[in-house]
Structure 1
Amino acid sequence: MTLASFSRWPIPRWLGLCVALFFVATATGAERYSATTVEEAGVTLIVLRDEVAGMEAAIAPRQGGELSSLRVQLRGEWLELLYRARDYREATGWRGKAPLLWPAVGRNFSRTQPPDPNAELCSYDFAGRRYDLPIHGFARKQAWQVIGTRADADGAAVEVELTDDAATRRQYPFGFSFRIVYRLAEGRLTLTHRIAAARENDATMFFSIGNHVTFRLPLVPGSAPGETTLQTPSRFELPKDANTLPTGEARPLDLSKPSRLAERSFLPPLGLAGYEGDPWVRLADPTGLAIVVTHQAERLPAGQCILFNLWGSPASGYFSPEPWVGLTDSLNRRAGLIELQPGEQWAWRIDFAVEGR
């Protein structure tokens, strides 16, 4: 049937109104969300924006596929929440942003490497040989490929992927596909990670995972950094020794009520566990602006593992409520690990929500 043939039939007024409303809604949704590619100082960024909620996220595919910027509108101005956002210049100290930690969190020390709390190059033993691996793994140092971007009435999203190659296999002897979908919708940023072990693998693939998201302090310029409050419903901490290795203890710790960052030290980091539901952390500025980080794993390792690793200080100008699924030295101790059989997959989701605007 041709388009012209429709003119033979009278169109009810209600149907015409529905069609008109559909196109208005579609146009409104398209205008609300956008996904654009920009170049800044030689770095390619995929920028997702929600105009109605006043929220924007920038992802840097070739810089570890990381979240590079998270901005919200506050009193008519765009406010950056991440530390050293979009800044890839050489600098001393912590680089900030939100690097992905995989296939390890923290440091690993093989039998032939003496533990060193400052080591950048670490190692682990597997199948009769030693593998060298940077602190926090290699994923944050790799160029990820963009699978696709979209923006429609449901939100804005970009999907990036990392796969094994000869260089990764020298550090991690497994075939894999690792995809992350960054999605901005209804004023919330969601990161959905999906890791697949290659069918050709001849052994069980294992890993820990985390995100070193780092927020600026103060969250709102002019506030006192130490007055930022922290709240999380963990029941205990998993201490580390002077070499950042797990002690095997579990100490009761109640952070379920908001407490000022100035009241406690997070140097060295504080590893939290014992959550009864999905783990979450809430950081709140004295002005009322707050960030809530929640994560959810398809399944957790057997035994205890760190689910949030808290690091930073008001004096440093940043704070990292790192969502983790794992332990330091997990690749050697075979504890705090997700294990995948050849062909098996695992999913992990992180949500960022901003409150109090």
Structure 2
Amino acid sequence: MPLASHESIQLTAPDGASVSLSLHGGQLLSWKPAGAPEQLYLSPRSEYVPGKVIRGGVPVCFPQFADRGPLPKHGFARTLPWEPVSQEVGKDDALAVLRLRDSDTTRAIWPHAFELELSVRVSGRALDVELACENTGDATLQFTTALHTYLRVADLDDVSIEGLAGLRYFDSIKQAEALQRMDLLLTGEKGVLDLDRIYFGVKEKPLLVAENRRQLVITQQGFDDVVVWNPGPERCAKLADMPPEGWSEMLCVEAASIGRPIELQPGESWVGRQSMSLL
């Protein structure tokens, strides 16, 4: 079921690069670099209904990552309506900004005043997604967050991620910490495919996601960690908003701050950015 036009923003740069953004959840749904096909995975079974999660694209996890805290899984930002702030096409790029402020709904479960802004810039074969949070209240606030990016892949068996070697990670399936000794190869073996890992201290180290001839460089600023997730066939079959074979067409590589929550004093701001470039 496609979104009504008033609920989504279509953005096209002068060179033809385009994105689609949903006001529901402040969520990027599509990214097509200039002269290239769709780079994001969006489940055909997603429901575009108030209060429901859109499966795919780039959901915003805030103010809690996963179920690591008392709030609903991944917080509330991805299920609430955001307001459009601006939309412009420049000489080389296109930019849209969306905003989410605290409300009676959010304060009922998280008693803080805040303002979130999501800025999406597209140009050529590059995409920048920036999340900013300002503490607009009079008390300190803490949060964990992620840009839950679903990358579209043609064959998971051919995908590798370079740049994680030497990093410590938490395996959310095994509930144990481990060390990544080499590049991550997704070979389709059971136990490798059922992936749910938080890599700590990635900071601004670039990652290369490679599949056959496609190479995507991912960098981040402001985010300390990276999450790599794929549900695998068994878990995917239990997800009502994913087709049974959906796991084989996606891989999440998420810019995140989880290990060390972000703390903002009244009036303070934080900014995190994930940048992707198709080589």
TM-score by length of 1: 0.65
Give 1:94 deviation, angstroms.
8.4
Pick one of 60, 65, 80 that aligns with 2:22.
60
Aligned to 2:217: 292
Secondary structure at 2:170's aligned position in 1?
Answer: coil
Secondary structure at 2:106's aligned position in 1?
Answer: helix
Distance 1:252 1:243 in 2: 13
Alpha-carbon deviations, 1:22-80, whole Å to 9, x = none? xxxxxxxxxxxxxxxxx94425322222353x52211112x211111112355xxx522
Give 1:280 deviation, angstroms.
3.2
Q: 1:186 to 1:321 in 2, by over 3 A?
A: same
1:353 partnered with 2:277: yes
Q: Percent identity?
A: 22
Aligned to 2:30: 69
Pick one of 6, 12, 25 that aligns with 1:49.
12
Aligned to 2:264: 340
Report if the CA contact (8 A) 1:235-1:274 is conserved: no
Count the aligned residue pairs.
260
Q: 1:349 to 1:155 in 2, by over 3 A?
A: same
Distance 1:56 1:104 in 2: 30
Instruction: Give 1:64's aligned amino acid.
Output: G
Distance 2:99 2:276 in 1: 21
Alpha-carbon deviations, 1:148-179, whole Å to 9, x = none? 11112142101110000111001111000111
Q: 1:108 to 1:260 in 2, by over 3 A?
A: closer
Give 1:283 deviation, angstroms.
1.8
Q: Answer 1 or 2: higher relative contact order, Cα 8 Å, separation at least 6.
A: 2
1:228 partnered with 2:159: yes
Report if the CA contact (8 A) 1:226-1:261 is conserved: yes
Pairing of 1:85-96 with structure 2 (within 5 A): 88-89=46-47, 95-96=55-56
Secondary structure at 1:170's aligned position in 2?
Answer: helix
Report if the CA contact (8 A) 1:145-1:162 is conserved: yes
Pick one of 207, 210, 219 that aligns with 2:143.
207
Q: 1:86 to 1:341 in 2, by over 3 A?
A: farther
Pick one of 288, 302, 309 that aligns with 2:227.
309
Pick one of 100, 112, 129 that aligns with 1:191.
129
Aligned to 2:78: 140
Alpha-carbon deviations, 1:281-314, whole Å to 9, x = none? 322221x1122221110x85xxxxxx11111159
Pick one of 255, 263, 267 that aligns with 1:323.
255
Aligned to 2:110: 172
Alpha-carbon deviations, 1:247-286, whole Å to 9, x = none? 5x4x32134x4734436714240221243x6133322221
Q: Which has the larger radius of gyration?
A: 1
Distance 1:172 1:69 in 2: 30
Give 1:180 deviation, angstroms.
1.4
Report if the CA contact (8 A) 1:69-1:86 is conserved: no
Distance 1:85 1:55 in 2: 22
Report if the CA contact (8 A) 2:164-2:180 is conserved: no
Aligned to 1:84: 42
Distance 2:21 2:3 in 1: 15
Report if the CA contact (8 A) 1:279-1:294 is conserved: yes
1:267 partnered with 2:203: no
Distance 2:266 2:276 in 1: 32
Give 1:182 deviation, angstroms.
0.8
Aligned to 2:207: 281
Pick one of 57, 75, 98 that aligns with 1:97.
57
Q: 1:258 to 1:339 in 2, by over 3 A?
A: closer
Alpha-carbon deviations, 1:211-244, whole Å to 9, x = none? 11112221xxxxx431122212452233246685
Distance 1:94 1:267 in 2: 21
Q: 1:59 to 1:234 in 2, by over 3 A?
A: farther
Give 1:344 deviation, angstroms.
0.8
Give 1:343 deviation, angstroms.
0.8
Secondary structure at 2:161's aligned position in 1?
Answer: strand
